[in-house]
Structure 1
Amino acid sequence: MIDFHCHLDLYPNARDVYAGAVKKNAFTWLVTTSPRAYEASSRVLGSDPKVLITPGLHPEIVHDRFHELELLLEQVGPAKAVGEVGLDGSRRFQRSYELQRKVFVSTIERCHQLGGRALSIHSRQAVGDVLSALKSYPDYGVAVLHWFTGTGAELKSAVEAGCWFSIGPAAFNSAAGKALAKKLPKDRVVPESDGPFAQVDGVSVLPWSLDMTAALLSDSWGLPATEVQERLKENSRQLLTLIGYQVDIP
């Protein structure tokens, strides 16, 4: 199993889910929501090569955690990747948008200065600004747009910009999500759970949801589930090579 975007540290039984991910998954990208959370998760959950824990500053909490920006920029230095970061242009978070932009642009600039990092990026109702920031620092690394919900035109722009896309079962909860999944570039899609926040039928998606994602994409793409699963595995190998992270995906 593989998971390119999971808040593994935020499950109520985080230690148990972490142990399950180590046992069941070839690779899990544990994205954190703040620099302090990154420190705590790295300390409490320990270290295993199958789990990549990365520093981040989620746009939804920037209004409370903006003071942690400098710590984030320090943490990016030795990190293989960064996440979760990005922009949220929805009405609920409009008041913090300029602070979000400062955090995101500063992070992209830092990645650019360091020669590039992989980033797991939140882009809800802010795809244009996300792509503009990435374009400003062309050597930032690799962008993985998680749970992409933009328009068809924005998807085309993101594809042209070289972005990757991580998608999980909860993305198929809506008709719009199903329609967008059909248009995703098949050679740049990797699986995610986005658990515990993402839910299906009221239950949090777990990090070992690859089979469920493959089955849902199979319906969207009109391909056998086994073929989709192999495609997701090959995409994952390619993306991990770009990140510079070595794990064996059978």
Structure 2
Amino acid sequence: MMDFHCHLDLYPDARSVYAKAQQQMDFVWLVTTSPRAYVATSKVLPQTKSITVSPGLHPEVADQKAAELELLLVQIADSPAVGEVGLDGSARYRHSFDLQKRIFTAIVERSASLGGRVLSIHSRAAAKEVLDTLEQFPGFGTAVLHWFTDSVMLLRRADNLGCWFSVGPAMLNTANGRKIAAAIPRDRIVAESDGPFAKTDGKTVMPWEASNISSAMAGIWGMQTSTASDILINNGRELLSKIQKLQR
């Protein structure tokens, strides 16, 4: 089982979730929301063979955490995986959009200068601007668009850029989410939980439930659940190998 986007440190019982994930999961990408949160989380929930902890600066807190950008740019040098980063153009966060763009541009430029990183990217109501930024720095590495909800047209543009997509159970609860998932190239989709924020049937999605998308994707793809599961596992291994290569 693999989970390519999880705020594991933000579960109310984070230590026990971490322990269970370490026992049961082949891989969890623990994304953080700010550089200082990354420092604190790394001490309490340290990186292991199966759990990657990455520095990030979430666009929703850009106006609160902008002063930490320089710290993040230092952290990226020693971090093959970076996230959560990106842009949020929704009405609630539009006031900080220019600041978000400056921060995200600096992150992508830094990644390119270091030979590339694997980035877990938030793009709500801002996919065009995210892709514009990625196109400015061709050597940025690999983009994993987390819970992508924009248009199929922009998805095609992202596909042409070589982007990957992390999809979770909560995304597939919506008609638009299923429509987008159906358009994602089969060889570039991986499972995520986005816990503890994502919920299904009113319950928080746990890291080990990320793989529950297999049955939904099987229906979308018109195949057996076991076949869909194999595709997702193979995709996960390939994406994980990109992170591991950068650790050497």
**TM-score scaled to structure 1, two decimals?**
0.96
Equivalent residue of 1:5, what SS? Answer: strand
Distance in 1, Cα, partners of 2:70 & 2:195: 27
Instruction: Show the 5 A alignment for 1:36-55.
Output: 36-55=36-55
Query: Which residue matches 2:109?
Result: 109
Query: Which residue matches 1:236?
Result: 236
Alpha-carbon deviation of 1:211?
3.6
Identity fraction in percent: 50
Query: Which residue matches 1:164?
Result: 164
Aligned residues of 1:142 and 1:243 also touching (Cα < 8 A): no
Structure 1 residues not aligned, in runs of 5+: none
Equivalent residue of 1:3, what SS? Answer: strand
Instruction: Show the 5 A alignment for 1:1-250.
Output: 1-244=1-244
Alpha-carbon deviation of 1:210?
3.8
Distance in 1, Cα, partners of 2:75 & 2:57: 11
Structure 1: which amino acid aligns with 2:157? S
Aligned residues of 1:8 and 1:196 also touching (Cα < 8 A): yes
Distance in 1, Cα, partners of 2:95 & 2:211: 39
Question: Deviations for 1:125-158, whole angstroms, at most 9, x for unmatched residues?
Answer: 1111101111101000000000010101011101
Q: Which moved more, 1:79-88 or 1:233-242?
A: 233-242
Structure 2: which amino acid aligns with 1:31? V
Aligned residues of 2:3 and 2:211 also touching (Cα < 8 A): no
Alpha-carbon deviation of 1:219?
1.3
Residues 43 and 245 of structure 1: CA distance in aligned 2, closer, same or farther (over 3 Å): farther
Alpha-carbon deviation of 1:245?
5.3
Equivalent residue of 1:209, what SS? Answer: helix
Aligned residues: 246
RMSD: 1.1
